[in-house]
């Protein structure tokens, strides 16, 4: 029997967050790709081998699940420096975009190629055969439309290959990725699991378990509002919207460029400017510290008002709701604006996670809990079946 490694991967619109094995490895990679050529220029091959693979992901991806197959890409940090870099567009469906799959496969290949995992997978002639049991998720809207079924079958039914080209430490390595199992969870449900349960799915937050709660997950391109009642997501009342922070981040980036002549590499740079602890909402213009507060405040307040409108509408339809939790990277960006609106308007009982990492990693942590539990139960079932077979033989 082949070894299978656990993987919990949140392909967020801003970045990929991934946990592997016994939570012994994690990756955070900006969700940015750029088409490239095979022989990208590098100054000094020795220098290349000293760098982190995460700073130079340069790959060819082959998979029948892709619309455009066998294409070469820069991924993550390396792609943010390219003139032709692409990020997911507003209105797109995560389950139908090549970019989602490219980020997923690249993340898995990085884990498989890591020397620490040499004993887990078979490797011959620089080709690694890697089997994974994957937990991942899609926006509530896409799951309600049934797109999770096609997405899962695309992943399960094929071998997907990532070839590392001019990538530090991994140059010349090919990784063949197979999935033994794929579980695709609705993002709102996953957030609830992470709120109330530990890694063994034991209840850790008894105060929440029987409450009627909302979870508003604000991402880059979409917002999911899960309605939790009787310990379950109410599928009929839960809603997903094509409203995230990406469009607003892009508007801020464009206005900074036109007003100050400063070109920011990606939306990730905008997020850093508006969330960092020191010099928040300031940039350097020709060596001078310059405020962009007027730009960020106007654009983000407008988005916060739209998000608050959704909260108000859902709460009115679920009047016995006791609390709403705001989660996701977008919630961290809009936190102060939504709090200010709520204080001056309805005064709902709302909660944000003060720990930025906890909020941003919530989905990946939830997928890890769920796929770990599935794997444990699966192993138990296999042991029982093997025991029964032996008993029959004897």
DSSP per-residue string spanning 281-332: TEEEETTEEEE-HHHHHHHHHHHHHHHHHHHHHHHHHTTT--EEEEESHHHH
328 and 218 in contact (C-beta within 8 Å)? Answer: yes
- The pLDDT-based confidence of 394 (bands split at 50, 70, 90) is low
Distances (CA, A) of 323 to 31, 106, 154, 207, 296: 31, 38, 38, 11, 28
d(CA 220, CA 249): 9
d(CA 272, CA 252): 12
What lies within 8 Å, CB to CB, of 321 at 6+ separation is 212, 213, 214, 227, 315
309, 215, 220, 255 alpha-carbon torsion, rounded to 10° = 40
> What's residue 377's pLDDT?
87
Class of domain 5-187+362-384: alpha beta
Distances (CA, A) of 6 to 88, 284, 309, 360: 26, 43, 39, 20
> Which sequence spans correspond to the domains of the chain?
5-187+362-384, 210-360
Residue pLDDT, tens place only, 300-345: 999 999 999 999 999 999 999 999 999 888 898 999 999 999 999 9
352 and 339 in contact (C-beta within 8 Å)? Answer: yes
Rounded to two decimals, what is the model's pTM?
Answer: 0.86
For 121-143, b where at least 16 C-beta lie within 10 A, e where not — what string?
Answer: bebeeeebbbbbbbbbbbbbbbb
Inform me whether the pLDDT recorded for 44 exceeds 70. Answer: no
Compute φ and ψ for 171, nearest 5 degrees: -55, 130
Residue pLDDT, tens place only, 360-386: 888 899 999 999 999 988 877 667 666
32, 29, 36, 35: which is closest to 86 by C-alpha? 32
What lies within 8 Å, CB to CB, of 78 at 6+ separation is 34, 55, 56, 57, 58
Distances (CA, A) of 286 to 80, 83, 289, 290: 22, 21, 9, 9
| Topology, domain 210-360 | Nucleotidyltransferase; domain 5 (3.30.420)
| 5-187+362-384 and 210-360 in the same fold | yes
- The pLDDT-based confidence of 68 (bands split at 50, 70, 90) is very high
d(CA 365, CA 10): 9
Q: Is 4 helix (H, G, I), strand (E, B) or coil?
A: coil
Q: Please report where in the chains the tokens 């794997």 appear, as a residue.
A: 375
- The pLDDT-based confidence of 2 (bands split at 50, 70, 90) is low
Residue pLDDT, tens place only, 188-243: 777 788 788 887 778 877 777 778 999 998 988 888 898 988 777 787 887 888 88
> What's residue 46's pLDDT?
47
Compute φ and ψ for 264, nearest 5 degrees: -90, 140
pLDDT, averaged across the chain? 88
R_g over Cα of the chain: 22
Distances (CA, A) of 84 to 41, 96, 165, 310, 323: 16, 21, 19, 34, 43
């Amino acid at each position: 029997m082949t070894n299978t490694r656990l993987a919990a991967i949140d392909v967020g619109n801003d970045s990929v967050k991934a946990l592997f094995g016994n939570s012994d490895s994690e990756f955070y990679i900006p969700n940015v790709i750029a088409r490239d050529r095979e022989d990208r220029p590098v100054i000094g091959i020795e220098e290349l081998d000293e760098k982190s693979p995460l700073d130079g992901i340069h790959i060819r991806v082959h998979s029948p699940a892709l619309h455009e197959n066998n294409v070469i890409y820069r991924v993550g940090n390396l792609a943010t420096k390219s003139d032709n870099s692409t990020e997911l567009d507003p209105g797109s469906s995560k389950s139908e975009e090549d970019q989602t799959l490219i980020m997923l496969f690249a993340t898995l290949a990085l884990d498989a190629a890591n020397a620490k995992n040499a004993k887990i997978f078979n490797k011959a002639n620089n080709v690694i055969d890697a089997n994974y049991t994957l937990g991942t998720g899609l926006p509530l809207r896409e799951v309600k439309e049934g797109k999770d079924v096609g997405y899962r079958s695309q992943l399960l039914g094929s071998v997907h290959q990532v070839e590392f080209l001019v990538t530090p430490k991994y140059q010349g390595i090919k990784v063949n990725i197979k999935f033994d199992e794929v579980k695709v969870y609705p993002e709102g449900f996953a957030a609830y699991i992470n709120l109330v349960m530990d890694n063994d799915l034991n209840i850790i937050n008894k105060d929440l378990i029987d409450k009627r709660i909302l979870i508003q997950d604000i991402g880059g391109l979409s917002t999911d509002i899960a309605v939790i009642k009787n310990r379950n997501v109410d599928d009929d009342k839960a809603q997903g919207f094509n409203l995230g922070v990406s469009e607003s981040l892009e508007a801020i980036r464009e206005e900074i460029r036109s007003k100050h002549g400063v070109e920011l590499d990606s939306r990730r740079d905008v997020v850093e400017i508006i969330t960092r602890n020191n010099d928040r909402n300031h940039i350097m213009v020709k060596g001078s510290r310059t405020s962009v507060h007027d730009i960020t405040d106007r654009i983000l307040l407008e988005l916060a008002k739209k998000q608050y409108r959704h909260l108000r509408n859902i709460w009115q339809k679920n009047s016995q709701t006791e609390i709403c939790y705001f989660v996701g990277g977008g919630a961290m960006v809009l936190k102060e604006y939504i709090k200010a609106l709520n204080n001056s308007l309805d005064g709902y009982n709302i909660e944000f996670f003060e720990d930025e990492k906890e909020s941003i990693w919530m989905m990946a942590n939830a997928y890890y809990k769920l796929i770990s539990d599935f794997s444990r139960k699966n192993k138990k079932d296999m042991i029982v079946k093997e025991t029964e077979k032996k008993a029959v033989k004897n």
